[in-house]
Structure 1
Amino acid sequence: MSRGDLTDEEWVMLEPLLPVSGNRCGRWRSHRQVINGIIHRLSTGAQWRERPQRFGPWQTVHKRHLPWSADGTWDRLVQHVQAVADATGGIDWDINIDSTSVRAHQHAAGAPKHSSLVSSNPSKNGEARGEPGTVASGEPARSVGESGAAGEAHGRSRGGLTTKLHLSGDGKCRPLSLLITSGQRADCTQFESVMDKIRVPRLGQGRPRRTPANVGADKAYSNRQIRFYLRQRGIRHVIPEQKGHKAAWLPRGGRGGRPPGFDRDRYKYRHTVERAIGKLKQFRAVATRYDKRGYVYLGTATAGTLFIWLRS
């Protein structure tokens, strides 16, 4: 799935949404050829310099990927493909949320500790709540005043640097939204950010769809704040309760409140987000982080999401 070049049908869908090819110095290299080079790098995890000659100069492919990761081009492409799928009823809105840890290669270390790139829209993400190391799609990492590791979504572990990828997946095992944090970040702290990033536009008139039919998650997301957030938005959810939480309210009897409901049959479908993670990690450049900058790695993961949607 991941190693093939763009087909004619896929190119027809993406071409109108890409930046205009041309500048004062002459025409750009074909977007289609560049995207095929990015697909090759995604699937093999090879260095940019090691790409085959048929994709053109490696500097061109690399320098086209950087601004598209920073300005949200990859996100706009994903949202358009999702909108086309939603218009034909191709999205299963019984979604699930989970995260996965990604080992950072030694080449991913060494990003500048101070940078002029600051998120232009930090609302409703981890940084807005004072959580360094959170990078949302289309937003360069904020590293001013932070350590290089925290500012680029690098987390420390015994094995080295790690990054955590948080995502939601639809019922057909495709990522709906994603963001990255440092590897030690708890899953539950990013639940609202992942939910707020679900945005599927309408092809015609109407507001983008942001509310799923129901949500499933594991015990890592079992807390009052998340359940209150879902009840406020009128979203049904299936999240098993932790044993410690049960031990807290059981002795209180009626004063402890009514325990949350749990649909075992619905919870069995939580495997769809695990399969979405598996599809995303089929791209070697996503399964292992080689990008120094956090926003570039998020762009890499978003590009992988785009090709999953195109070819699903």
Structure 2
Amino acid sequence: MSEGADGVLSRGALTDDEWSVLEPLLPTSTGRCGRWRDHRQVINGIIHRLGTGCQWRQLPARYGPWQTIHKRHMLWSADGTWQRLLQHVQAVADAGGGIDWNINIDSTSVRAHQHAAGAPAACVGAGRKKGYAQTAMLHEVLGRSRGGFTTKIHLSADGKCRPLSLIITSGQRADCTQFEAVMDKIRVPCLGLGRPRRLPDSVSADRAYSNSLIRAYLRRRGIRHSIPEKSDTKSARLRRGSRGGRPPGFDPTRYRARNTVERAINKIKHFRAVSTRYDKRGAIYLGSVTAAALLIWLRS
């Protein structure tokens, strides 16, 4: 626990060590001859909301005006500040050899609260024409699935159960369609000279990612992988005999370590504002998920 602005101990607030990592990376001026409200106080308010899932206007007064905290979170979600902070923390960990590059990929569905509905359509002049609601839903990554309105988080995690990259889609999107997008989002900068690291040592995923396109993608990049073959694919290959080709390589020992991505998902869903989507805007919800991932890295 850490001390808040009014001397009250706040559960989950930034510690002095965590703040020392983030402080040099945050803007010092608003660009309008003014200064930001205390970043640490505002971030602690965002952390409180992430952990409790409360409405913005219900934030305790010790964090300052709720409007300031809400606007800061929206701004940093839109301009990529949360993503840059996450990449910096990952870069520091990688420089010290603290990242296990045997990664795992999976996804999880998140139920959207009724407050997440109602965002206007993306296209200007849509009015109330046919398809207005569908356009808004697609733009804000809301979709219908068996659980109702849902959003899906696709992510990769390192061997220490920490998210390396993540994207969000509407809830009905198939996992395999987002594999390349998740892989391409991996980008851990180098603190010194050099290019960001984008390729892992190996990748593991479940049968939902077992198809020829994904295996070809990994072969082109020289990435070892452990993805089990689907039963129907195996049956079709065996029916063709010698023309069916060789079975794909599979390492059962490596595959048993795939639980690290499940544990990473569990960590992210400890944040109630992530496990249930309250944000109307898809970009703002992505910022909430990214901020939660940043806290996981800071505290790992």
Is the CA contact (8 Å cut-off) linking 1:94 and 1:170 kept in structure 2? yes
Q: Decide which of 248, 251, 270 is 1:260's aligned counterpart.
A: 248
Distance 1:144 1:17 in 2: 40
Q: Which residue of 2 aligns with 1:236?
A: 224
Distance 2:41 2:123 in 1: 31
Over 3 Å counting, the alpha-carbon distance change for 1:106 and 1:144 in structure 2 is: closer
Is the CA contact (8 Å cut-off) linking 1:214 and 1:237 kept in structure 2? yes
Q: Does 1:55 align with 2:63?
A: yes
Extract unaligned runs of 5+ from structure 2: 2-9, 125-130
Supply the RMSD in Å over aligned alpha carbons.
Answer: 1.8
Q: Does 1:68 align with 2:71?
A: no
Distance 2:191 2:238 in 1: 49
Over 3 Å counting, the alpha-carbon distance change for 1:234 and 1:145 in structure 2 is: farther
Distance 1:235 1:144 in 2: 43
Q: Which residue of 2 aligns with 1:178?
A: 166
Distance 1:25 1:109 in 2: 37
Q: How does 1:1-312 map to 2 (within 5 A)?
A: 3-24=11-32, 26-114=34-122, 147-312=135-300
Distance 1:172 1:65 in 2: 28
- Give the alignment's TM-score, normalised by structure 1: 0.88
How many positions carry a matched residue from both structures? 286
Deviation for aligned residue 1:25? 6.3
Q: Secondary structure at the match of 1:147?
A: helix
Q: Which moves more between the two structures, 143-152 or 295-304?
A: 143-152
Distance 1:30 1:295 in 2: 24
Is the CA contact (8 Å cut-off) linking 1:42 and 1:284 kept in structure 2? yes
Q: Secondary structure at the match of 2:46?
A: helix
Is the CA contact (8 Å cut-off) linking 1:112 and 1:148 kept in structure 2? yes
* Bigger Cα Rg: 2
Is the CA contact (8 Å cut-off) linking 2:237 and 2:244 kept in structure 1? yes
Is the CA contact (8 Å cut-off) linking 2:28 and 2:35 kept in structure 1? no
Q: Secondary structure at the match of 2:168?
A: strand
Distance 2:161 2:146 in 1: 31
Distance 1:144 1:3 in 2: 42
Over 3 Å counting, the alpha-carbon distance change for 1:158 and 1:239 in structure 2 is: closer
Q: Secondary structure at the match of 2:270?
A: coil
Distance 1:264 1:157 in 2: 32
Over 3 Å counting, the alpha-carbon distance change for 1:144 and 1:30 in structure 2 is: farther
Extract unaligned runs of 5+ from structure 1: 117-142
Is the CA contact (8 Å cut-off) linking 1:3 and 1:43 kept in structure 2? no
Distance 1:115 1:307 in 2: 35
In the alignment, residue 284 of structure 1 is paired with which amino acid?
Answer: R
Distance 2:21 2:101 in 1: 23
Is the CA contact (8 Å cut-off) linking 1:114 and 1:146 kept in structure 2? no
- Give the alignment's TM-score, normalised by structure 2: 0.92
Distance 2:196 2:170 in 1: 30
Distance 2:132 2:101 in 1: 38
Deviations 1:142-173 (A, max 9, x none): x9996111111101134421000000000000
Instruction: Give identity over the alignment, percent.
Output: 73
Distance 1:231 1:159 in 2: 36
Is the CA contact (8 Å cut-off) linking 1:281 and 1:287 kept in structure 2? yes
Deviations 1:43-97 (A, max 9, x none): 0000001111110000000000001101110000000000000001100000000
In the alignment, residue 218 of structure 1 is paired with which amino acid?
Answer: D
In the alignment, residue 239 of structure 2 is paired with which amino acid?
Answer: P
